[in-house]
Structure 1
Amino acid sequence: MTTDTATGAGGKGLAVGTLGLAGSVVIGLASTAPVYSLVATLGFVVMAVGAQAPIAFIVAFLPMLFIAAAYQELNRQIPDCGTTFTWATKAFGPRVGWMGGWGVAVAGIVVLANLAQIGGIYLWLMLGQDALAENTAVVTATGVVFIALMCWVSYRGLEIGERLQNILLGVQYLALALFVIFVIYRIATGEAPATEHFSWQWFNPFAFADYSGFIEAVLLALFIYWGWDTCLALNEETKDPQRIPGRAAIISTAILLITYVGVTVAAMAYAGVGTDGLGLGNEANADDVFLALKDDVMGPLAIVLVIAVLVSAVSSTQTTILPTARGTLAMATYKALPRRFQTVHPRFRTPSFSTLMMGVVACVYYVGMTVISDNILQDSILSLGLAIAFYYGITGFACVWYFRKELTTSPRNLFLKGILPLLGALMLTYAFVQSAIDMWQPDYGYTELLGIGGTFVMGIGSLVVGAVLMVVWSFFADARPFFAGESLNRETPVLVPEEPETYQRSIDGGLM
């Protein structure tokens, strides 16, 4: 097998051979912030589809699995840290590739603001300072500190980040395991308020009562799966760049499916989906299901869930910085961004300038949106699914088009390089379009801007801003090689590290 690469001892200068399969899986899982994702999403999914929440999470998993296959196949051929940017440029040209890279950046910046806010709130809740947890200025300042600290960790090197994530992810899964154990105990002792503790109807894909609610739930569920692709952005720093990242992506998404469905079933079994009291369908509980349930379910150990949400937000803050920093590094390497973004720290072997800029832009965005209106910040977070569906969809289509001449050479290629990525891309495209239509309505989200939904303005507006920046950059002399299709096209090799000797034999022997 051949790869579309030009190898060099250092590639782009990143730390070669740092991550193994386990480390990649941990970072892929940590990037999704499992505990926080459930906290932020579960209530709204139940409000949208009621008792069909478990099957909604399963349905949303399918496009993630299909797109993970696209990532795996493209990464085997082109193990470049630019991921969507690099692959889409090779498949469709510089402008589609640039917008794919912008989609990754937008999603990262918006979610960093969200994670910082949650981290700020939960730190003070953990310390028993409820008044400070409701103080916008204090929470914002605390969130900025979290972003700065996690930027420092990312700046100092991937190894320290990996060690930190092992601990933080362990705390999250310990908390979720304790939650499920306590739910089982409460049900066994007759203390659970729900009248129905389990039903196979929860898994019936034909029981959705409202079509728009189903689409809304699936888009919300896409958010909680999002993040596993971080392990692909670290491909140049793994011990086996062509195989480990793709495998880690598949493993991560499978573990997330089990986690989300399992915890959702446990929460429904305990609280039910009613609209009163502890019911998951109660709008008052939607913003934070665990905060509503923690005392009744876990009693004195309720603080464990608070700590887990804090840890989840902080953990994902660090891992969210990683893919965007490496994406902008790759874009600069191929002249799609100013060369300063290409800077790699000579000692830590990290994309130093890109990492710092990611932190600065995220802080400015977070503080700016908070000062303007917290409701606008919340609408930008609600619109996050558009950016996710946008760049995941581009990746799926890029896989099909890039490998189009190989699809008929074997059943494996047909399915993994063609059918599955295409299905995933089509599903995400539909979710994008339908969600944009729904978000257009003035009553969608928290604000109304220009007579339409603020969520639509923030979501589509962020992509339009990217298109404008792309046009502006294209007029600079340094950008000409990229937009002329010279620095990166289907035929040009990509700059990746030389294959370490530890796995050269397995590469020569053929891949799965």
Structure 2
Amino acid sequence: MSTDTAPATGGKGLAVGTLGLAGSVVIGLASTAPVYSLVATLGWVVMAVGGQAPIAFIIAFIPMLFIAAAYQELNREVPDCGTTFTWAAKAFGPRVGWMGGWGVAVAGMVVLANLAQIGGIYFWLILGQEELAENTAVVTATGVVFIALMCWVSYRGLEIGERLQVVLLGLQYLALVLFVIYVIYRISTGQAPAEEHFSWQWFNPFAFEDYSGFIEAVLLALFIYWGWDTCLALNEETKDPKRIPGQAAIISTTILLVTYVGVTVAAMAYAGVGDEGIGLGNEANAEDVFLALKDVVMGPMAIVLVIAVMVSAVSSTQTTILPTARGTLSMATYRALPKRFKTVHPQFNTPSFSTLMMGVVASVYYVGMTFVSENILADSIASLGLAIAFYYGITGFACVWYFRSSLTSSTRNLFLRGIFPLIGAVLLTYAFVQSAIDMWDVDYGYSTIFGIGGTFVVGVGALAIGAVLMVVWSFFAEAKPYFAGESLNRDTPVLVPDEPETYPRSVDGGLS
């Protein structure tokens, strides 16, 4: 994009035609933070299901793929940057749509705090300052700086963010490829401590010994895949908004499946799943399996893996801001939020106020939780799967209901608009309910609130707060057109003007 030519803009003021397929895939992958996701999740998954970790990741991929199909189909029909918010409102009405948008915002806010913390820790580890990496105040301040920097990148425009993500994602995959190569070398030279370097039993879906552990592993795996939908939130800024974002979602999730299963098998082949030493089942290694493996596997090249973890966290910080800011922009455009949130920068064509507000809210939450209770912060991160399952599930159901009249028109529509999204939504709903039940137990997380598990209180409470805010906002005069089903309903054009003079009214208030 040249500096002397203003980009074309769409109905909401965003820069259209900025991303191609490759750029969309890069952002979809970067949003999941592949290296960091493995660091934060692999150990816990192995602790939950042992040697069945690879098949757990494959099973968790199924609802992700089915929901990606729902995203693709809905985006073909309604390429709006509000994604879940817009689609759910068109399918089920304003209140379900509002809660879907809230679910996206909650997930983004919570994960930003965690990403910032990881980025802060690894920044000082790279510099060899282990004491500072363990200093809560220093790490928190560094994390807030990272949030601010990534907000600035997002504020300045999508194109600069895309170029940055190409470099950062390349570094992540370079580190993962080197890790796998070193593992193969260690095994081939007899230097791997694992007793079993490979077993087809790792891929046996009937070998799970503990049902609760299986559900826990699947929910953890949902987190590891989460983020690919960022490329859908950028649909209005993509060259072919009805086609490319959906394709990018399918490609991204497939690449992630290969990445996660491949690296998991390599780590298990080298270290095994034991609960002692560098075994992946050792709770002492669960929070960061690569920290335990990097030196013994990669030797002097271990620093590459450390850098990749920090890069992964910082990279995802920026891409997490993107969909949330555009979601709140869309909500404000349709009067579901105060009009200030729909402010678009006249030069950079980005949702300026929404981007800055996302950074401020995430920073305040991160700092507050860190100094009030690090245990509650940890529990909020553990509850993240609830918010993810919540809004992904809503999207799946919205797809089926929105396209219900066309499901029998072709085999393609029946599966891609009906059967697959419905199965994905049902599976995610079940995961949500079962996980909420498990999280009620005081032994599930790190804190207890009101005599029940802190993870449950934080996870379900965050969604409940959204319901309260929705009710409060509905009493404001500015919100009346939205909650009356006037500013957004099934018949509303996708790219509505910033200040529409009239709204096309749906005869059934948006419930058709």
TM-score range, shorter chain: over 0.9
Aligned partner of 1:4 in structure 2 is none
In 1, Cα distance between the equivalents of 2:85 and 2:282? 41
Summarize deviations over 1:219-272 as a string: whole Å, max 9, x none.
Answer: 000000000000000000000000000000000000000000000000000000
User: Is the contact between residue 79 and residue 496 of structure 1 (CA under 8 Å) also seen in structure 2?
Assistant: no
**DSSP 3-state at the match of 2:309:** helix
User: Is the contact between residue 236 and residue 496 of structure 1 (CA under 8 Å) also seen in structure 2?
Assistant: no
Aligned partner of 2:404 in structure 1 is 404
In 1, Cα distance between the equivalents of 2:185 and 2:344? 52
Aligned partner of 1:438 in structure 2 is 438
How far has the Cα of 1:10 moved from its partner?
2.4
In 1, Cα distance between the equivalents of 2:70 and 2:258? 21
Aligned partner of 1:58 in structure 2 is 58
Summarize deviations over 1:430-466 as a string: whole Å, max 9, x none.
Answer: 0000000000001111111111000000000000000
Aligned ranges for residues 386-405 of structure 1 at < 5 Å?
386-405=386-405
In 2, Cα distance between the equivalents of 1:166 and 1:68? 22
Is 1:323 the counterpart of 2:336 in the alignment?
Answer: no
User: Is the contact between residue 439 and residue 453 of structure 2 (CA under 8 Å) also seen in structure 1?
Assistant: yes
User: Is the contact between residue 31 and residue 230 of structure 1 (CA under 8 Å) also seen in structure 2?
Assistant: yes
TM norm structure 1:
0.95
Summarize deviations over 1:83-106 as a string: whole Å, max 9, x none.
Answer: 000000000000000000000000
Aligned ranges for residues 298-377 of structure 1 at < 5 Å?
298-377=298-377
Aligned ranges for residues 113-512 of structure 1 at < 5 Å?
113-495=113-495
Moved over 4 A (4+): none
Aligned partner of 2:503 in structure 1 is none
How far has the Cα of 1:493 moved from its partner?
1.6
In 2, Cα distance between the equivalents of 1:24 and 1:411? 28
How far has the Cα of 1:168 moved from its partner?
0.1
How far has the Cα of 1:401 moved from its partner?
0.1
**DSSP 3-state at the match of 2:74:** helix
Amino acid at match of 1:258: V
Summarize deviations over 1:179-237 as a string: whole Å, max 9, x none.
Answer: 00000000001000001000000000000000000000000000000000000000000
Question: Identity over aligned residues, as a percent?
Answer: 86
Number of aligned positions between the proteins = 490
In 2, Cα distance between the equivalents of 1:457 and 1:79? 35
**DSSP 3-state at the match of 1:198:** coil
Aligned ranges for residues 14-53 of structure 1 at < 5 Å?
14-53=14-53
How far has the Cα of 1:496 moved from its partner?
6.0
How far has the Cα of 1:371 moved from its partner?
1.0
In 1, Cα distance between the equivalents of 2:10 and 2:297? 52
Amino acid at match of 1:211: Y
Q: Which runs of 5+ in 2 are unaligned?
A: 1-7, 498-512
Query: In 2 relative to 1, CA 491–259 (structure 1 residues): closer, same or farther, beyond 3 Å?
Result: same
Aligned partner of 2:79 in structure 1 is 79
In 2, Cα distance between the equivalents of 1:90 and 1:427? 23
Aligned partner of 1:510 in structure 2 is none
Summarize deviations over 1:283-305 as a string: whole Å, max 9, x none.
Answer: 00000000000000000011111
Aligned partner of 2:70 in structure 1 is 70
**DSSP 3-state at the match of 1:196:** coil
User: Is the contact between residue 488 and residue 494 of structure 1 (CA under 8 Å) also seen in structure 2?
Assistant: no
TM norm structure 2:
0.95
User: Is the contact between residue 10 and residue 236 of structure 2 (CA under 8 Å) also seen in structure 1?
Assistant: no
In 1, Cα distance between the equivalents of 2:109 and 2:244? 27
In 2, Cα distance between the equivalents of 1:223 and 1:391? 13
Amino acid at match of 2:372: I
User: Is the contact between residue 80 and residue 496 of structure 1 (CA under 8 Å) also seen in structure 2?
Assistant: no
Q: Which runs of 5+ in 1 are unaligned?
A: 1-7, 498-512
**DSSP 3-state at the match of 2:495:** strand
How far has the Cα of 1:9 moved from its partner?
5.8
**DSSP 3-state at the match of 2:409:** coil
Amino acid at match of 2:107: A
How far has the Cα of 1:492 moved from its partner?
1.8
**DSSP 3-state at the match of 2:160:** helix
**DSSP 3-state at the match of 1:45:** helix
How far has the Cα of 1:11 moved from its partner?
1.3
In 2, Cα distance between the equivalents of 1:248 and 1:373? 39
Summarize deviations over 1:328-375 as a string: whole Å, max 9, x none.
Answer: 000000000000001000000000000000000000000000011111
In 2, Cα distance between the equivalents of 1:328 and 1:289? 36
In 1, Cα distance between the equivalents of 2:494 and 2:298? 52
